[in-house]
Structure 1
Amino acid sequence: MLPLKVLALYRKVQKLLDRTLPEPLFYQRRYFILHGRFCNFREPKRFSEKIFHRMRYPAPIFSLLADKVRAREYIESTVGTQYLVPYYLVCDRVTLEIFESLPDSFVMKANHSSGQIKIIANKHKENLQELTHKANNWLEKDFSKLFREKHYAGIQPRVIFEKALLCNGKPPNDYKFHIFNCGPGSSPYVFIQVMQGRFEKLTQTLFFEDWSIAPFNYIENGSSQEPHIFTTPKELPEMLEIAKRLSAPFGYLRVDLYRHDGKIYVGELTVTPAAGAYRFLPPEWDLMLGSKFGWPEDLPPAWPIGKLCNLP
């Protein structure tokens, strides 16, 4: 075990390297640390290699999909407004006065990043000055520089306030549908990552679309032992249809869904999950899933959105 001072110095050095290394060295260094080999950018075959390729050479459409505000346009035009989480406000600067206009419970999150989210069950029990400071700090962060997921740089930073989907004060389970499209004429290949206790004791369990247990897992994963997780959700056919329609134009897309009060909501769309850090057990599944990931991707430079949501 390293002394705390040595560990702190090590972390500072790592952050300095992440900020200053030339692009080719940065990606190869990070990939090697995660996966114990170098990334083949010329002919990526593994799932992890294709995700790293997306991080380094993103299509313009990736910025729209990753933007939690503008992605609503794509979701609305593809599957309908009924699957959008109701929102209260979108802004590019948060003030104390904004909280006065919000209901007692809501979700506050940044649109240009991952993980910058705060669930407010009762605003009267919160320090609103601290919440204001937190939200504005989010807006100052350039998330694209953290792991060099370049598509985040194309997103205008904003904060969106949404309806809190809570049950007994807790968020619902998170159903992450990983949809792989191999090419024309082939059926999508699907596995589903069910996350429980995201803000407490996190567990993740992997299923196939028939709700059988997947024969692989993540190295960092701890599976749930609660019996109800293994019961097929009655909404599964509708959830699969939503996820497949949203992912249809892409070689791979992760579609995050929630079940709440008998309805299904799209949480977000993800093109570079975990910034390429998923490590599978057994490890051969990295190559297996990579073979299901349609490649090369022939994506349009812009997207014919159709009717736009009435967002600021």
Structure 2
Amino acid sequence: MKQIFKQVKNFIFDKQIRFGYLSTLGFYNWIPDDIYLKKEFKVRIGNELNLNNPQTFNEKIQWLKLYDRHPEYTMMVDKYAAKQYVASKIGDDYIIPTLGVWTKFDDIDFDKLPNQFVLKCTHDSGGLVICKDKSTLDINAAKRKIEHCLKRKYYYIHREWPYKNVPPRIIAEKYMTDNANSSTTNETLKDYKFYCFDGKVRFLMINSDRNSKMSTKADYFDRDFNWLDFTWGYEHANVRPVKPDCFDEMISISEKLSKGLPHVRVDLYECNGQIYFGELTFYDGSGFDKIEPIEWDYKIGKMLKLPSK
């Protein structure tokens, strides 16, 4: 009862929670993108959104959503199609193997899947089921989660245009395990996110303690691996991450994949000394995670040179 009361109280008094909840229900779907983003920016960041002369990184991300729209972006965020696109750029060796792709959950033949695998929705963020042991997998719970995500139009939540026309599908991927650390699995693979501007890596983020969203830590480094003192949605790790052995190769891959783009984040994993592609992210935090101190929002904003409308 107390939990229900707390949820109702948060809905009434917390603007961000109320706005997010109504957005997921489709309450604001009818609002034009520019008006919606101005409203969301005010709710989440607390400032008016300046689209005429954006200065901060978060402001420029909203501008890109509205005015930098290319058909190939849809393919690049599609978790299935992006694999083929990336493989054509850097080769198949960097791609986590796909075990199957389906449009309906009931079409999945679990008997043909290995004992361990990962299910993902191709068109959203969060549609994920990790199977460590098929004999204990709750298929009904997995079905409920995946089918809920298949129905969700992810584009409407933060108006990330590339997702608007991604076909909703399900893929199964190989379950990745790092033999150097038997406790390291798909949930905690070493995760490196490279922030690229006009085809050049300017800095990167390394995630730590990714067992849950609440415990995730993030540290930032420039391309020479000097630590950068700012936060962006997560606290710093208690133990500062070390430079990976394959760092230079990661830089090279990221710059190949970001060539010709004003901005993209290239997400890579390191597993058993091998680099694997994760995803391409155009709008980090959808442009709504606060960068602190605020000076860094402006510094990163200066790295992003907006193209012509």
Interval containing the TM-score (normalised by the shorter chain): 0.7 to 0.9
Partner of 2:305: 294
Are residue 275 (structure 1) and residue 286 (structure 2) matched? yes
Deviation at 1:250, TM superposition (A): 0.6
Superposition CA RMSD, Å: 2.2
Partner of 1:32: 42
Note if contact 1:66-1:268 (Cα within 8 Å) is conserved in structure 2.
Answer: yes
Q: Percent same amino acid among aligned pairs?
A: 26
TM-score (norm 2): 0.86
Note if contact 1:107-1:118 (Cα within 8 Å) is conserved in structure 2.
Answer: yes
Which residue identity lines up with residue 234 of structure 2 in the other structure? N
Partner of 2:200: 188
Distance 2:72 2:54 in 1: 20
Distance verdict in 2 for CA 1:40–1:99, change over 3 Å: same
Give 1:195-234 correspondences, 5 Å limit. Answer: 195-200=207-212, 201-218=215-232, 220-226=233-239, 229=241, 231-234=242-245
Give 1:44-193 correspondences, 5 Å limit. Answer: 44-57=54-67, 58-95=69-106, 97-167=108-178, 168-169=182-183, 170-171=185-186, 172-181=189-198, 188-193=200-205
Deviation at 1:137, TM superposition (A): 2.1
Which residue identity lines up with residue 118 of structure 2 in the other structure? V
Q: Mark the runs of 5 or more structure 1 residues left unpaired by the alignment.
A: 182-186, 299-312
Note if contact 1:176-1:194 (Cα within 8 Å) is conserved in structure 2.
Answer: yes
Note if contact 1:250-1:294 (Cα within 8 Å) is conserved in structure 2.
Answer: no
Deviation at 1:43, TM superposition (A): 3.3
Distance 1:76 1:4 in 2: 45
Out of 4, 8, 11, the position equivalent to 2:11 is 8
Are residue 247 (structure 1) and residue 258 (structure 2) matched? yes
- Residues 129-161 of structure 1 deviation map (CA, whole Å, 9 limit, x = unaligned): 221232222211111111222221110111111
SS class of match (2:204): strand
Which residue identity lines up with residue 160 of structure 2 in the other structure? E
- Residues 247-281 of structure 1 deviation map (CA, whole Å, 9 limit, x = unaligned): 11111110110001121001000111211113212
Distance 2:286 2:207 in 1: 18
Note if contact 2:99-2:172 (Cα within 8 Å) is conserved in structure 1.
Answer: yes
SS class of match (2:120): strand
Q: How many residues align?
A: 289
Distance 1:221 1:132 in 2: 31
Distance verdict in 2 for CA 1:63–1:97, change over 3 Å: closer
Note if contact 2:78-2:122 (Cα within 8 Å) is conserved in structure 1.
Answer: yes
Runs of 4+ displaced beyond 3 Å = 8-14, 16-24
Deviation at 1:3, TM superposition (A): 5.1
SS class of match (2:58): helix
Deviation at 1:242, TM superposition (A): 0.4
Distance 2:78 2:139 in 1: 25
Note if contact 1:252-1:293 (Cα within 8 Å) is conserved in structure 2.
Answer: yes
Which residue identity lines up with residue 222 of structure 2 in the other structure? F
Distance verdict in 2 for CA 1:41–1:61, change over 3 Å: farther
SS class of match (2:294): coil
The higher-RCO structure (CA 8 Å, 6+ apart) is: 1
SS class of match (2:115): coil
Which residue identity lines up with residue 175 of structure 1 in the other structure? Y
Note if contact 2:201-2:254 (Cα within 8 Å) is conserved in structure 1.
Answer: no
Q: Mark the runs of 5 or more structure 2 residues left unpaired by the alignment.
A: none
Deviation at 1:106, TM superposition (A): 0.9
Deviation at 1:189, TM superposition (A): 4.4
Note if contact 2:210-2:216 (Cα within 8 Å) is conserved in structure 1.
Answer: yes
Note if contact 1:99-1:128 (Cα within 8 Å) is conserved in structure 2.
Answer: no
SS class of match (1:42): coil
Distance verdict in 2 for CA 1:198–1:245, change over 3 Å: same
TM-score (norm 1): 0.85
